[in-house]
Chain A
Amino acid sequence: MDLRDTPDEARFRAELRDWLAASLPDGLRGHRGGAARFEGEAVREWSRALYEAGYAGLTWPKEYGGGGCPYSYQAIFLEEMARAEAPHHLGVIGLGMAGPTIIAHGSEAQKARHLSRILSADEIWCQGFSEPGAGSDLSAVRTSARLEADRFVVDGQKVWSSFAHIADWCLLLTRSDPGSERHAGLTYLIVDMRSPGVEVRPLRQMTGEAEFNEIFFSAVEVPVENVLGEVGGGWQVAMTTLLHERGTLGFALTAALEVAVRKLIELAQDRGATATQRDAIAREWIELQGLRFTAYRSLSALMKTGVPGPEGSILKLQWSEANQRLGKLALELLAQDAQLLADNAPYGGYWQHHQLRSRGNTIEAGTSEILRNIVAERVLGLPRSR
C-alpha cells in the first residue's frame, strides 16, 4: 500500500499540470458545465487539443490511437483536470461508452472507422437505450430492427438521449426478433445520426437547458456491417456499455465533487456558516475523502486483477447523493440570494444550476433504487427482487 504517486506517475502529473497551465484558455477555466458547453467551437477545439497532446483515451490500446497507459494515469488525468477546472472532452459518451464497447465487441472495420475519430472529437456519440416504455427495465425495449437483405430497417422511439442533438453517431439497442422477449432477440446497432428518417427533438430539463432529446426512427436503414457484436446478442453488448458507464466513471465523479466541495468551503468562508452548517460541510468533506479513497481501492484491484473491486459498485450511488446534498447546503448558505439566477446571482448562478442539475444524478445511468438492487443482488448475494 502506497498512496503516493510512483516516480512515473509523478512525472506524468507534473507534465500534465504544466501543460494545463499553458494550454487551457482562460475563458474555459471554471466552466459551469451544462448545455452551455456545447455552444460554439471552444470546447471542441479544447477536446482536439487534449487529443493532440495525447490525453484523450489514455488507457485505450495504442493501436487505436490511445495512450496504452495504466488506469492510474486516467485517475491522475481526471484529478488534474478537476483541479484546473478544465472542461471535459466533448465526447463524453464516445470516450466513456462507445469506445470501450467497440474495443470489446467491434469488428476491425468498426475500430478503424471510429476509435481515433472519437478521441479527436471529430465524432460525437449518443446512447439510445431508454424508451418511453423501457427505462430501468431496459430489456423491455421495442424499437424494432427488421433485416432486409444487407441492411436493418429501424422503427421506433428513444428518449432522454443526452447529446443526441449534437451527435454524429448513436449506440442503439433494438429488438431484431419481433417475437422475442426480454434479453433475447436484441441487436446492438451503431447508427449514423444523419441517416434519412432520424429525427431529434430536444427536451427541456428543469434547469431550463436541453441536454437530452427524443429520437424518432422511421424506416431508418442501417447497413448490417454496423451491427456491434452478434445479431440477437445485443444484451451482452449493452452490458459492456453499462459496465463502462458505471465503472470507469468513479474518478471523474470524485474529481468533479472535489471541485464542488472546494467551492462550498469558499462559499462558507465568504458568507459565514452556523454550527450546524459547519458540521454538514465537514461531513461532506469527509464523505468526499471516503469516495476518493474508495475509488483508489477499486482502481488498485482493477490494476492488480483486471476487474474493479466490488466496492466500485457504490461510487455512482454515493456520488449522486453527495452531490445533491452539496447543492442543497450551498443554497442554504446563499439564503434568499439562492432565488437569483444568471447574472444577478452570486458566483454566476453556479449553485442554482448545480442544485437543479443534481436531481438528475440519482436517475441517469441507473436510478439509485436500481443501483441498490445491484449491490444487494450482485455484491451481497441477496435473492433477486424481480
Chain B
Amino acid sequence: MDFAFTPEQDELRSQARSFLAAHPEPSWAELAGLGWTGVSVPEELGGAGLGFLEEAVLVEEMGRALTHAPFWSTVAVVLPALPPELQAQVAAGEASWTLALGPLVPDLDTATRIAVVGGDSIWELDGAGREMLQTNDATRPLGVVTGGSAGRRLAGSELLPRMRTRSRAALALEACGVGARALELAVAYAKEREQFGRPIGVYQAISHPLATTYMELELARSLALWAAWCIAVDDPQAGLAAAAAKAQCAEAAVAACERSIQAHGGIGFTWEHVLHRLYKRALWIQSWDASGAQLRSEVAARLLDGEGE
C-alpha cells in the first residue's frame, strides 16, 4: 500500500506550479513544448509515455491556475478516442480537441478540432460553424456548433463511459486545485487583515470555517486521487470512484470559495479580486455532466440496488 506521489511526480507538480504562476495564459504550443499535452501519449508517438497520475498532477495545477486552454477537453476527455497519428499531433501541439456531446460545447473558443458521437462511433466533426455564448466562467467558455458533417471515424462509442470517467476524475482534480487556492487566499488574508486590533484569524468565526474547509478539501482530494489511481491502473472501481470524487470535490471547492469570499469581506466581492473567477470555475465544474445529487443517485443505485456492478 503506497498512496504517495513519486519524486518525479512531485517534481512535475512543482514545475507546473511555477510555470503557470509565471505564465497565466499559456498557449497550446507552450504546453506542448513542456511535454504536457503528450504526457500520456506513447513515446513512439512523441509523447512522454506516462499515465493518468501525471495528467492528474497537471490538471490539478491547471485548476489552481485557472488555465484557459483546452487541456481537460483534449487530454482528459478526447485523447483515448484518438488514433495514433492524431495522438501524435496532440503531443506535438498541432491539435487540440473538444467533445460535442450535448448542445453546449466547452472550450470551443480554443480547441482546434471537434469530436462528435453518432451511431456506434465517435467522429471528427468537419466544417462546423462555431458560435460562442456569454457564460459565467470566462476561463472555460461554452459555445454551440452549427452545421458540419461527420468526417473521419475516430473510435467506437463503447469508449464513451471510459472518457466520461476520465472527464469526471479530471474535473474533480481541477476542483481540488481551485479549492486549495481559495483556501490559501483566505488563510493569508486572515493572518494579515486586522480588525478590533487583532488579525481576524484569531476569531473562531473566521478560523473554524477555514479549518472545516481544509478538512473537506483533504477528504475530497483523497477521493480524486483514488479515482485517478483507479483510472491509471484500469481498476474496475474507476467509474464509481470518479462519480464519488466529482460529487464531493465540486461541492468542497464551491464551499471553499464561498467561505473564502466571506472571510475577505468587501474586497472578496469585487471584480478585481481573483476569488470570483475561482468561484465561477468551481460552479462550472459542479454543473458540468452531472451534479452532486445526480452522481449520488448513481452511487446509491450501486450500493442499494446493486446496479452497475
Nearest-CB distance from B25 to chain A (Å)? Answer: 30
Nearest-CB distance from A98 to chain B (Å)? Answer: 28
Whether B3 and A318, one on each chain, are in contact in the complex, defined by CB atoms closer than 8 angstroms, is no
* Interface membership of chain B positions 192-230, coded 1 if the CB is closer than 8 angstroms to chain A and 0 otherwise: 000000110111100110111011001110110110010
Interface flag for B173 (CB, 8 Å) = no
Whether A382 and B190, one on each chain, are in contact in the complex, defined by CB atoms closer than 8 angstroms, is yes
Interface flag for A5 (CB, 8 Å) = yes
Q: Which of A329-386 contact B (CB under 8 A)?
A: 369, 371-373, 375-377, 379-385
Nearest-CB distance from B106 to chain A (Å)? Answer: 25
Known interface pairs A1-B3, A300-B1. Does A283 touch B304 (Cβ–Cβ under 8 Å)? no
Interface flag for A14 (CB, 8 Å) = no
Known interface pairs A314-B215, A375-B215. Does A289 touch B297 (Cβ–Cβ under 8 Å)? no
Nearest-CB distance from B102 to chain A (Å)? Answer: 24
* A317 to B187 alpha-carbon distance, docked (Å): 20
Known interface pairs A2-B2, A9-B1, A282-B303. Does A290 touch B223 (Cβ–Cβ under 8 Å)? yes
Known interface pairs A281-B304, A300-B3, A385-B204. Does A380 touch B210 (Cβ–Cβ under 8 Å)? yes
Which residue from A286, A294, A372, A381 sits with its C-beta under 8 Å from B218? A294
Interface flag for B53 (CB, 8 Å) = yes
Interface flag for A3 (CB, 8 Å) = yes
* A4 to B233 alpha-carbon distance, docked (Å): 10
Whether B297 and A300, one on each chain, are in contact in the complex, defined by CB atoms closer than 8 angstroms, is no
Whether B210 and A382, one on each chain, are in contact in the complex, defined by CB atoms closer than 8 angstroms, is yes
Known interface pairs A265-B304, A314-B215. Does A385 touch B3 (Cβ–Cβ under 8 Å)? no
* Interface membership of chain B positions 1-20, coded 1 if the CB is closer than 8 angstroms to chain A and 0 otherwise: 11111100100000000000
Q: Which of A297-338 contact B (CB under 8 A)?
A: 297, 299-301, 303-304, 311, 314, 317-318
Known interface pairs A5-B1, A281-B304, A380-B210. Does A286 touch B244 (Cβ–Cβ under 8 Å)? yes
Interface flag for B293 (CB, 8 Å) = yes
Q: Which residues of B contact A275 (CB under 8 A)?
A: 297
Whether A279 and B204, one on each chain, are in contact in the complex, defined by CB atoms closer than 8 angstroms, is no
Whether B212 and A372, one on each chain, are in contact in the complex, defined by CB atoms closer than 8 angstroms, is yes
Tally of chain A residues near chain B (CB < 8 A): 54
Interface flag for B21 (CB, 8 Å) = no
Interface flag for B191 (CB, 8 Å) = yes
Give the interface of B toward A (CB within 8 A): 1-6, 9, 53, 183, 187, 190-191, 198-199, 201-204, 207-208, 210-212, 214-215, 218-220, 222-223, 225-226, 229, 232-233, 241, 244, 247-248, 293, 296-297, 299-300, 303-304
Whether B212 and A296, one on each chain, are in contact in the complex, defined by CB atoms closer than 8 angstroms, is no
Give the interface of A toward B (CB within 8 A): 1-6, 9, 72, 75-76, 265, 268-269, 273, 275, 278-279, 281-283, 285-287, 289-294, 296-297, 299-301, 303-304, 311, 314, 317-318, 369, 371-373, 375-377, 379-385
* A379 to B213 alpha-carbon distance, docked (Å): 12
* Most-contacted residue by chain A among B201, B225, B304 (CB, 10 A): B304
3 interchain residue pairs of minimum CB distance: A290-B219, A293-B222, A282-B296
Whether B296 and A301, one on each chain, are in contact in the complex, defined by CB atoms closer than 8 angstroms, is no
Known interface pairs A286-B296, A293-B225, A381-B187. Does A376 touch B304 (Cβ–Cβ under 8 Å)? no
* A371 to B247 alpha-carbon distance, docked (Å): 26
Q: A72-B1, A286-B296 are in contact. List 7 more A-B contacts (CB 8 A).
A: A269-B304, A283-B296, A286-B247, A293-B226, A294-B218, A297-B4, A371-B211
Whether B1 and A279, one on each chain, are in contact in the complex, defined by CB atoms closer than 8 angstroms, is no
Whether B5 and A1, one on each chain, are in contact in the complex, defined by CB atoms closer than 8 angstroms, is yes
Q: Which residues of A contact B208 (CB under 8 A)?
A: 369, 372-373, 376
Q: Please name 15 pairs of A and B residues whose Cβ atoms are closer than 8 Å in the assembled complex, sorted by A.
A: A1-B3, A1-B225, A2-B233, A6-B1, A268-B304, A283-B296, A287-B219, A289-B226, A290-B220, A296-B222, A297-B4, A304-B4, A375-B211, A383-B199, A385-B202
